[in-house]
């Protein structure tokens, strides 16, 4: 199944907190469930939380009995506020909410049921576009990988972080499917262990050779000549190309520059925030210090030890060798190329509110609760 998908019962998603021990599907039946799933990281990764929030809006519209367009739009506005407050760094979240709100507003003249249909159609369009974007990122990025490369990645930018396929891991998958002999070094990614729990799990299922390392081993392996490329995902890319991604990414970029190793960022254009000039303006999520004082629920520090937990850091654009987006591989100067890529991706999008073929978003298909 996809990481997140619509079903008549509600929004189905893989509960990523349970991996790799078990694959558990959870169903969000209310907007509050969706917000909790994002906040507690049952679903995580920038594109996945964007799609999930979009489906959350569709769910909220379906569950509301409002007959008037104006009132239903107001209800959706409240849902958008709740969903937007879940996690601050990944711009895909607010980007997806804005898209669904816009589609709903455009349909309002036709009545409340039209809003419901439009919200669901837009959420499906966002999910489908993410899948297409990921496949294109893979196709554009695979030529960057040479036969025999050992590639280091951080966090999880695989199918689990998106609707399916993945961004940074999408490039690796695409290179592997071209039958290149590659090896992946997987940073465990403290404190939430997305690398150890999720990326290693995905690579193992895909049969891609890999080795798990702790985050502090990266420099050692680079120094020994065991890393030819670094590829990571992104949560938000500022207009100048500064990149917010999982905490630890910046250190990797500095290490890669020191060792002359290319450092690639693979992300869909939905992760580019042209409203933010530089990385200084990107809000960095602060998560609970308990996630640092514990590993997998086990206490590893005195309970009263002060601990810090910024969940993301910002890599300055000058450390990025190139961006791999659905529009192609982008080299500096990033200011103009990123805005051109966003514009070209927007032209490739289906018209807002257009019904995707695998969905009939009629009021008859409202969720069964
Ligand atoms: O806190 P998370 O797990 O949501 O952080 C995820 C990342 O940092 C990913 O690298 C990023 O979202 C890109 S996913 C394609």
User: pLDDT (tens digit, 9 = 90+) per residue, 96-150?
Assistant: 999 999 999 999 999 999 999 999 999 999 999 999 999 999 999 999 999 999 9
The total number of structural domains in the chain stands at 2
Give the model's pLDDT for residue 359: 36
Please tell me whether residues 154 and 280 are part of one structural domain.
Answer: yes
Burial of 287 (0-12, 13-18, 19+ CB in 10 A): middle
Please tell me whether residues 157 and 280 are part of one structural domain.
Answer: yes
CA of 165 relative to ligand 1 center, distance in Å = 14
Q: CB neighbours of 194 closer than 8 A, spacing ≥ 6?
A: 44, 155, 156, 246
Q: Which of 155, 163, 270, 288 to mutate for ligand 1's pocket (most ligand atoms within 8 Å of CB)?
A: 155
Please tell me whether residues 356 and 241 are part of one structural domain.
Answer: no
Which residues lie across from 28 on neighbouring strands?
11
What confidence category does residue 350 fall into, taking pLDDT thresholds of 50, 70 and 90?
low
Q: Which of 19, 90, 292 to mutate for ligand 1's pocket (most ligand atoms within 8 Å of CB)?
A: 90
Which residues lie across from 150 on neighbouring strands?
183
Please tell me whether residues 150 and 259 are part of one structural domain.
Answer: yes
**Radius of gyration over alpha carbons of the chain, in Å?**
20
Give the model's pLDDT for residue 213: 98
Residue of 77 and 364 predicted with greater confidence: 77
Tell me the pLDDT of the chain averaged across its residues: 94
Q: What is the CATH number of the domain that holds 46?
A: 1.20.120.420
Whether 167 is in the pocket of ligand 1, judged by its Cβ within 6 Å, is yes
Residue of 231 and 363 predicted with greater confidence: 231
Please tell me whether residues 168 and 233 are part of one structural domain.
Answer: yes
- By residue count, the chain amounts to 369
Measured CA to CA in angstroms, residue 104 lies from 69, 91, 130 at distances of 9, 20, 20
- Could you identify the atom of ligand 1 that is nearest to the CA of residue 162? 15
What confidence category does residue 347 fall into, taking pLDDT thresholds of 50, 70 and 90?
confident
What confidence category does residue 194 fall into, taking pLDDT thresholds of 50, 70 and 90?
very high
Please tell me whether residues 211 and 321 are part of one structural domain.
Answer: yes
**Residue 7 DSSP SS3:** strand
Please tell me whether residues 112 and 128 are part of one structural domain.
Answer: yes
Please tell me whether residues 122 and 230 are part of one structural domain.
Answer: no
Other residues' Cβ atoms within 10 Å of the Cβ of residue 286: 12
The sign one gets for the Cα dihedral 61, 67, 73, 78 is: negative
The predicted-structure confidence for 13-45, as pLDDT tens digits, reads as follows: 999 999 999 999 999 999 999 999 999 999 999
CA of 79 relative to ligand 1 center, distance in Å = 23
Please tell me whether residues 103 and 174 are part of one structural domain.
Answer: no
d(CA 23, CA 275): 38
What confidence category does residue 356 fall into, taking pLDDT thresholds of 50, 70 and 90?
very low
Q: 235, 242, 273, 313: which one is catalytic?
A: 235
Please tell me whether residues 27 and 106 are part of one structural domain.
Answer: yes
Domain range for 144: 140-347
Q: CB neighbours of 61 closer than 8 A, spacing ≥ 6?
A: 72, 75, 76, 104, 115, 116, 119, 120
Please tell me whether residues 25 and 56 are part of one structural domain.
Answer: yes
The predicted-structure confidence for 318-328, as pLDDT tens digits, reads as follows: 999 999 999 99
Asked whether residue 367 carries a pLDDT value surpassing 60, the answer given is no
Strands 243-246 and 312-315: antiparallel
- Could you identify the atom of ligand 1 that is nearest to the CA of residue 46? 12
The alpha carbon torsion through 27, 29, 33, 35 (nearest 10 deg) reads 100
Please tell me whether residues 52 and 184 are part of one structural domain.
Answer: no
Q: What is the CATH number of the domain that holds 213?
A: 3.40.50.10470
Q: Which of 161, 230, 248, 269 to mutate for ligand 1's pocket (most ligand atoms within 8 Å of CB)?
A: 161
d(CA 113, CA 61): 9
Please name the residue whose Cα sits nearest to atom 6 of ligand 1.
Answer: 45
CA of 363 relative to ligand 1 center, distance in Å = 34
Query: Is 235 one of the catalytic residues?
Result: yes
For 77, what's the count of Cα atoms within 13 Å in the CB-facing half-sphere? 7
């Amino acid at each position: 199944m996809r990481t997140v998908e619509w079903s008549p019962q509600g929004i189905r998603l893989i509960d990523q907190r349970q991996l790799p021990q078990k694959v558990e599907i959870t169903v969000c039946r209310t907007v509050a469930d969706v917000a909790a799933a994002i906040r507690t990281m049952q679903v995580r990764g920038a594109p996945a939380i964007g799609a999930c929030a979009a489906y959350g809006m569709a769910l909220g519209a379906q569950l509301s009995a409002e007959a008037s367009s104006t009132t239903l739009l107001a209800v959706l506005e409240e849902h958008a506020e709740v969903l937007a407050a879940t996690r601050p760094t990944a711009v895909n979240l607010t980007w997806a909410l804005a898209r669904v709100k816009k589609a709903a507003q455009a349909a309002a003249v036709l009545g409340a049921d039209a809003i419901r249909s439009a919200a669901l159609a837009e959420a499906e369009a966002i999910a489908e576009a993410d899948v297409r974007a990921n496949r294109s990122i893979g196709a554009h990025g695979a030529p960057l990988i040479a036969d025999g490369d050992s590639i280091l990645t951080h966090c999880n930018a695989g199918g689990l972080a998106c609707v399916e396929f993945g961004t940074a891991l999408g490039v690796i998958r695409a290179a592997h499917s071209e039958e290149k002999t590659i090896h992946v070094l997987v940073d465990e990614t403290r404190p939430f262990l997305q690398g150890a729990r999720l990326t290693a799990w995905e690579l193992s299922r895909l049969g891609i050779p890999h080795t798990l390392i702790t985050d502090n081993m990266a420099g050692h392996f680079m120094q020994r000549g065991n890393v030819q490329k670094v590829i990571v995902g992104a949560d938000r890319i500022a207009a100048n190309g500064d990149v917010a991604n999982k905490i630890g990414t910046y250190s990797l970029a500095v290490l890669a520059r020191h060792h002359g190793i290319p450092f690639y960022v693979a992300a869909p254009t939905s992760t580019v925030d042209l409203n933010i000039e530089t990385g200084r303006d990107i809000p960095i999520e602060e998560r609970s210090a308990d996630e640092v004082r514990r590993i997998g629920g086990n206490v590893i520090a005195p309970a009263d030890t002060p601990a810090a937990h910024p969940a993301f850091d910002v890599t300055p654009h000058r450390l990025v060798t190139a961006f791999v987006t659905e529009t192609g591989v982008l080299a500096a100067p990033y200011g103009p190329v990123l805005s051109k890529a966003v514009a070209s991706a927007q032209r490739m999008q289906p018209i807002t509110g257009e019904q995707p073929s695998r969905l009939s978003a009629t009021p008859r298909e409202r969720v069964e609760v």
